[in-house]
Structure 1
Amino acid sequence: MSVIELKNDKISAALKTMGAELTSLKDTEGTEYLWQGNPDYWSGQAPVLFPIIGCLRNGTASVSGDKTCSFGRHGIARRKEFTLISSTEDKAVFSLKADEETKKQYPFDFELQMTYELDGQKLKITHTVINHDSIPMPFCVGGHPAFNCPISEGEDFEDYVVEFEYPETADCALLNEDALIDNGNRVPILKDSSTLPVKHEMFYNDALIFDQLKSRKVSLKHKDQEKGICVSFPDFDYLGVWSSANDGPFVALEPWSGTSTCTDEDDVFEHKRGIKTLQPGEETSLSFTIEIL
C-alpha cells in the first residue's frame, strides 16, 4: 500500500492505494475535515462502495440467470489494492480490475477506476465502471466519506447541522435486524425544512437513507458559522447520512446509486432498486464533489 498526496493553493488531499480511499482533506491552515478512522468508533474513513451498497439478503443473490454473487457489506472494492494509473500534483487515477478472487464473489470481468481531482476548494471524486465481459454487468456504486464533527476543538457534536440544498419533506425507511431496508416502516425526518440538527441518537438505528430528495447538495456545517463541507451528488439517486451508534465524533455523507436489499425485493441482483447495467464493452462514470466551505 502506498499513499498519494494532492495539493493546490486552497486544499490538500491524501489517498491510499488500498481501496483507493481518501484519507485526508485539509485546508491551507491545516484543518483536517476528514474523519481519521479512530477504531474506537469506526476504523474506516471514506471507503469506495462497489458493486453493491449495503447488504444482500443472507449475503447472496442470483445474477445473470445461473450465476451467484456473494458479498459482505458494501461489496469488494474497499478491501482490494488498487493500481495507481497516473498522478499529478492535483489529480490521481486508480484502477481495480477483476481477478480470480473477485470473480468468486462477483462473476464479471469488471474494471473500476477512481479519479480524484482538486479544483479550488473542491475535490471531485469520479467512479468509472467498465464492463470488459461478454455479458451484461449489473452493479451499484457509491461513496462513504465521513467528516469530523465537530471540526474544531472546543465545539460539540450538536453544534452542527446537516443542511440540504432545498427545503425537504422526507421520511426514511428503517433497517430490520438483517440490515435490509423495510420500506413499510418509515419515520419522518424532515418536514418542509432544509436543516437537520445533528444528534447522536439519530444514528442509533444505523444510517438515515434518503430516497426522496429534491436536493443534490448537502452540507455538514456549524449551526452558527459557514464552516464545514458541502457534498454535491448530481449523479446519485440516494443519500446516506450516518454516524456510529456509539456516539462517534463524525458524520458520513454518502452518495449512493443504490441501497441494501429491501424487504419487498427478491434475491435477483438485477431486480434491486437502483441497479445500473453495462453492456459488454460499455463504461459509465458517476461523480460527486466535496467542497470545503
Structure 2
Amino acid sequence: MEFILENEELTVKIQSLGGALSSIKTKDGLEYLWQGDRNYWSGQAPVLFPICGSLRNDSARIGKNQITKMPRHGIVRKREFICEKKEKDSVLFSIESDEEMLQQYPYHFKLGIRYTLLKNRVITEYCVENRGSEVMPFFIGGHPGFNCPLCPGENYDDYRLVFSEKETCSVPYPVTETGLIDMGRRAGFLNHQQELQLNHDLFSRDAVILDELKSRNVKLCSKKHEKGVELAFADFPYLVLWSTANKGPFVALEPWTGLSTCSDEGDVFEEKRNVQLVEAGKCKAYKFDIKIF
C-alpha cells in the first residue's frame, strides 16, 4: 500500500512494503529518488535492520550462545509494515518480530519508522524497541538512492558531493565475493578536501565505506544547475556511497550505525564495531534528514 505526504514544495510517497520511501518529487515533476531498474538495482531506499551490510557466511553467534542467520541488510526490508498513524505531514509505520523473524534474529522487537514532510525536507526517524527481557544488540541504517543525473542532458560526472567539513581519510577494501570488509587493506581517498567528483569508476569494485568521516552533512550537487540533495546524518557514524558497477544512473547515500563484518572481527554479534544495545523495555531513536533544493 502506498501513502502520500504532500505540501507546496514536495510530494513524497512511502510504501508499506519495507516501510520505505518510493518517491520524492518537486512540484515541477522532477523525481529525486531512484525509481528502481532491474538492469541496475531494483531497490530504492530500503531500511536496514538489525544489520547493515553482511555477516560472515550470513551467520553469527549472539546472546547466550545462540545463532543468528540473516541475509545482507537484515530481515525487514522485504516485509510488510503496518501504518499506525497518518497525519497531514507525517506517517508512522511499524513492524514487530514474528516467528519467522525470531528464527533469524532471536529478539522480540518493534521497529517504528516515522516520515515527516517539513517544507523541502523529508525527515526519517527510526525507533528500535526491545520487547524482550534481555539486552538487545542491533544495527540500523538507511539506503536511499538518488537519481544521478537528475535532469535531461546531464552526465554522471557533472555531479559532485560536497561535505560539510574538509576531509582527509582513507577507506577500507570491500570484498565483493563475500560482502565483507578488509580493514587491513586501506587506500587514501580524500586529502584535505571538501568535494568529491562523482564518476562511475568510484564504484567499479563496490561501495565506498567512509568510516573516518568527520562531516555529518553531505550535498549532491550538479555543475549545471542549482538543484540537488542534502543529507544530514548526525546520529550515524558511517556513510556509505554506492552505485552499481555497470554504471547505474544513481548514487546511494547511506547512513549506517554499523558495517559488514570486518576482517579484524570474529563472528560474535556483540563484538562487532559500534554495536548498538537497547535495554529490555526501552527504545533507541535515530534520525536522518533529506533536504531537496
Q: C-alpha distance in 2, partners of 1:7/1:274?
A: 36
Q: C-alpha distance in 2, partners of 1:103/1:184?
A: 34
Q: C-alpha distance in 1, partners of 2:74/2:221?
A: 30
**Matches of residues 156-175 of structure 1 in structure 2 within 5 Å?**
156-175=155-174
Partner of 1:217: 217
Deviation, 1:223, is 2.6
Q: C-alpha distance in 1, partners of 2:35/2:187?
A: 31
Q: What runs of 5+ residues in structure 1 fail to find an aligned partner?
A: none
Q: C-alpha distance in 2, partners of 1:269/1:37?
A: 32
Superposed CA offset, 1:165-208 (max 9, x none) = 11101111011231211111111111000111001010011110
**Matches of residues 36-75 of structure 1 in structure 2 within 5 Å?**
36-75=35-74
Q: C-alpha distance in 1, partners of 2:29/2:231?
A: 20
Partner SS state of residue 77, structure 2 = helix
Q: What runs of 5+ residues in structure 2 fail to find an aligned partner?
A: none
Deviation, 1:39, is 1.0
Partner of 2:78: 79
Q: C-alpha distance in 2, partners of 1:30/1:225?
A: 16
118-127 or 220-229: bigger deviation: 220-229
Superposed CA offset, 1:242-281 (max 9, x none) = 0011100000000000000001101000001121011100
Deviation, 1:79, is 1.1
Q: C-alpha distance in 1, partners of 2:165/2:122?
A: 22
Partner SS state of residue 248, structure 1 = coil
Partner SS state of residue 154, structure 1 = coil
Q: C-alpha distance in 2, partners of 1:162/1:188?
A: 17
Partner of 1:205: 205
Partner of 2:269: 269
Partner SS state of residue 128, structure 1 = strand
Q: C-alpha distance in 2, partners of 1:105/1:231?
A: 32
Partner of 2:116: 117
Superposed CA offset, 1:142-176 (max 9, x none) = 00000000000110011000111111011110112
Superposed CA RMSD in Å reads 0.8
Partner of 1:136: 135
Q: Which residue identity lines up with residue 68 of structure 1 in the other structure?
A: I
How many residues are treated as equivalent by the alignment?
A: 292
Question: 1:227 aligned to 2:256?
Answer: no
Q: C-alpha distance in 1, partners of 2:78/2:271?
A: 26
Q: C-alpha distance in 1, partners of 2:229/2:52?
A: 23
Partner of 1:291: 291
List, as ranges, runs of 4+ consecutive aligned residues in structure 1 with deviation greater than 4 Å: none
Deviation, 1:224, is 4.4
Superposed CA offset, 1:67-92 (max 9, x none) = 11111110011011000001112200
Deviation, 1:226, is 2.6
Deviation, 1:35, is 0.2
38-47 or 182-191: bigger deviation: 182-191
Q: C-alpha distance in 1, partners of 2:223/2:190?
A: 17
Q: C-alpha distance in 2, partners of 1:265/1:66?
A: 17
Q: C-alpha distance in 1, partners of 2:19/2:240?
A: 20
**Matches of residues 223-262 of structure 1 in structure 2 within 5 Å?**
223-262=223-262
Q: Which residue identity lines up with residue 91 of structure 2 in the other structure?
A: A
Deviation, 1:132, is 0.3
Q: State the identity %.
A: 44
Q: C-alpha distance in 1, partners of 2:193/2:226?
A: 18
Q: Which residue identity lines up with residue 59 of structure 2 in the other structure?
A: T
Q: C-alpha distance in 1, partners of 2:173/2:284?
A: 31
TM, length-normalised to structure 1: 0.98
Q: C-alpha distance in 2, partners of 1:226/1:255?
A: 24
Q: C-alpha distance in 2, partners of 1:175/1:51?
A: 20
Q: Which residue identity lines up with residue 126 of structure 2 in the other structure?
A: H
Q: C-alpha distance in 2, partners of 1:154/1:225?
A: 11
Q: C-alpha distance in 2, partners of 1:226/1:74?
A: 33
Q: C-alpha distance in 1, partners of 2:180/2:264?
A: 10
Deviation, 1:65, is 2.3
Q: C-alpha distance in 1, partners of 2:107/2:291?
A: 34
Superposed CA offset, 1:93-136 (max 9, x none) = 00010000100100000010010001111000001000000111
Q: Which residue identity lines up with residue 246 of structure 2 in the other structure?
A: N
Partner of 2:28: 29
TM, length-normalised to structure 2: 0.98
